[in-house]
Amino acid sequence: MSGSPKYSTVSVASAYARREAQRRARREAERRTRQEQRARERAELAARRARERTERRERAQADLERRQREAADRRAAEQEAHASRMRQEQVAAGSRRLDEVNALLTRVRTAEPDAPAAELAAIEDRLAQLREEVGRGEQLDGPIEELRGRLVLLSSPGDAPQPGTGYDAVLAGLEQRLAAIGPDGAAHDPGGRQNCTELLGQLRAAAGAGAETRFAALLGTVEHALTRHAGTAQHHDDEERLRAAEERRGEEERAAARAAEKAEEAKEAKEAAQEAAQEAAQESRAAVLVEAADRLGVVRGSAEAVAAEARELADPDLADRVEQALHAVTGALGGEAAEEALEAVGTLERLLPEAEARLDELQLAFTRRSDLAEALQDAMCEEGFTFTDGSEQGAAFVLRFERPSGARYGATVATEADGTPVLVYHVEGEPDVTLGPVAEGAVCDRTEDLLERVHEAIGERDGFLPGELTWQGKPPRGHTRSLPGAGQVRRG
């Protein structure tokens, strides 16, 4: 009936097919040209990045050599400063110990009026001599302790503990002092060690109630003996060390300096290696980000144009794929995710030729629909129709016509999935439709004849060959075929 959608597939005439093949070949050539141009741009950008990497490496090497020279100069200055500080500290320490000995000398003179004047004068002369030697930076621990021991021998004996208390603690302290002198003391001063041991035995025997006087007398003797033993042991040790130290001190100092320098160099090398590794990682990451950004810059304009044109040509899925691939790159670059950005831009580069090829086919299909719509409009107007309206709805053109009788014809120019053009008509208010019996099927003679004439006119001039006009319920020619759009809401 006149209200049922009428349908006709359209084949392409050989002349039109040849023109379309020429257009396809031209678009393929243009597509290859664009791809080659993008490849050249990528190669130029890669070469520029390589030059910049070389320049950065050369600058980094020069900077490393400069820092190594500065570090060597700094280590030399630090070593000299350290040696100077050590000398100053040694002089200060020796001076403090001599001040302590001088204070002890003053106390002996004050507290021991019977002390031998000659001995005190000799000690004072030796003290002055040691001050000069300490001022020259010499190590004089032994002589200073020996001088201190001589003064202790001249001082008053120690005070005894209260009766019945403190003996064990005093004895333990003295034994600790003897033990602290160590085995070197016994080796260098065996007589002094034996004397101290015997005196400690006597002092231990004198400990107890009623022996305070004897204990006090022995206590001073033991303290003097321990001090002398310590000083003697140290003096012998110093003499022994001095004999060997003079020969090896220089080498030891040089070895220590070399070890310190090596340690400092190892530390600096480790820090430099860590810094270099970090810089290399950062440089590599930055280089990957720059590469991804460069490659995005090459394809971004084309990708945006493809997405926009795909939407215009009613392929939102293709537009979404390209936009998502583009957003994946920009998002990774924004987050400085280097590897993700590089992978995403590679995906976009691979997608773009496929998308452009698909876009070329969409454009050819659009052109085919547009040409067919124009041919249909001309043919309809020649049959007395008035063109009232036309619009593009997705991947289809919708044209509306009106006959002088008031009947309205809506024609949709679409494309099937395999690219075949198709015409779909909706007719309203056509009075000259006759209906036959149901058994024979609906009949639409006059409307069908009219549209067949329109199709003939299209085929004669415009390179399109519309097929048989059919509709739902039309008697089949050999088999029944369901019409596309059957059962859908009418558009006009």
Highest mean pLDDT among 85-94, 99-108, 254-263, 391-400: 391-400
How high is the pLDDT of residue 246? 59
CB 407 within 8 A of CB 430: yes
The residue type of 63 is: D
Average pLDDT over residues 205-210: 70
pLDDT, position 74 = 85
Return d(Cα 75, Cα 178) in angstroms, integer: 43
Note the pLDDT of residue 164: 47
**Residue that is written with structure tokens 């700094």 in the block:** 74
**pLDDT: which is higher, 26 or 106:** 26
Higher pLDDT, 265 or 158: 265
Is the pLDDT at 181 greater than 50, yes or no? yes
Mean pLDDT of 170-188: 77
Classify 156 as helix, strand or coil: coil
In this structure, of 160-174, 275-289, 412-426, 478-492, the range with the lowest mean pLDDT score is 478-492
Superfamily of domain 6-46+364-471, CATH level 4? Bacterial toxin RNase RnlA/LsoA, N-terminal domain (3.30.310.240)
- Biggest CA–CA distance in the chain, Å, is 161
- Long-range contacts of residues 155-158, Cβ cutoff 8 Å, at least 24 apart: 155/104, 155/107, 155/108, 155/111, 155/112, 156/111, 156/112, 156/220, 157/216, 157/217, 157/219, 157/220, 157/221, 157/223, 158/216, 158/219, 158/220, 158/223
Please say if the pLDDT value at position 188 is more than 50.
Answer: yes
What is the pLDDT at residue 239? 62
Q: How far apart are CA 58 and CA 217, in angstroms?
A: 83
Paired with 471 in beta bridges are 6
Task: Please give the pLDDT value at position 238.
Answer: 64
pLDDT, tens digit, 9 for 90 and up, residues 347-406: 999 999 999 999 999 999 999 999 999 999 999 999 999 999 999 888 899 999 999 888
Do residues 277 and 36 touch, judged by C-beta distance below 8 A?
no
DSSP letter string over 479-491? S--PPTTTTSPP-
User: Is a pLDDT exceeding 70 seen at residue 2?
Assistant: no
Give the C-alpha distances (Å, rounded to integers) separating 18 from 14, 21, 125, 467: 6, 5, 126, 20
Q: What's the mean pLDDT in 459-479?
A: 78
The pLDDT score that the predictor gives to residue 163 is: 44
Q: Higher pLDDT residue, 8 or 99?
A: 8
What pLDDT, on the 0 to 100 scale, is given for residue 492? 30
Buried/exposed code over 270-287 (b: 16+ C-beta within 10 A; e: otherwise) = eebeeeeeeeeeeeeeeb
At residue 315, φ and ψ (nearest 5 deg) are -125, 75
Top mean pLDDT of 28-37, 209-218, 476-485 is at 28-37
Q: What are phi and psi of 459, to 5 degrees?
A: -65, -30
Please name which of 372, 373, 370, 409 lies closest in space to residue 388, comparing C-alpha atoms.
409
Q: Residues with Cβ < 8 Å from 310, sequence gap 6 or more?
A: 316, 318, 319, 322, 355, 358, 359, 362
pLDDT of res. 166: 65
Residue 202: closest CA among 231, 174, 242 = 174
Q: Is the pLDDT of residue 214 over 90?
A: no
54-81 pLDDT tens trace: 888 898 888 888 988 888 888 788 878 8
Highest mean pLDDT among 1-10, 149-158, 349-358, 476-485: 349-358
Domain locations along the chain: 6-46+364-471, 69-267, 293-363
Position 364 scores a pLDDT of: 92
Query: Is residue 443 scored above 60 in pLDDT?
Result: no
- For residue 99, what pLDDT is reported? 84
Give Rg (Cα) of the chain.
Answer: 56
Structure tokens at 427: 């007719």
Per-residue pLDDT at 481: 41
**Using an 8 Å Cβ cutoff, are 219 and 170 in contact?**
yes
Q: Encode 372-391: b = buried (16+ Cβ within 10 Å), e = exposed.
A: bbebbbbbbeeeebeeeeee
Q: Look at strands 397-402 and 386-392 and give their pairing.
A: antiparallel
| Residue where the block lists tokens 């190892």 | 266
Cα 80 to Cα 71: distance, rounded to the nearest angstrom:
14
pLDDT in tens, 301-329: 999 999 999 999 889 999 999 999 999 99
- Ranges 103-107, 153-157, 297-301, 478-482: which has the least confidence: 478-482
pLDDT of residue 295: 92
Q: What is the pLDDT of residues 223-279, one digit of tens each?
A: 777 777 777 777 666 666 656 655 566 566 667 767 777 777 778 778 777 877 887
Q: Which residue has the tokens 């810059």?
A: 297
At residue 107, does pLDDT exceed 90? Answer: no
Residue 146 DSSP class: H
**pTM of the full structure:** 0.56
pLDDT at 83: 76
Contact of 174 with 200, CB cutoff 8 Å: yes
Q: What is the pLDDT of residue 311?
A: 92
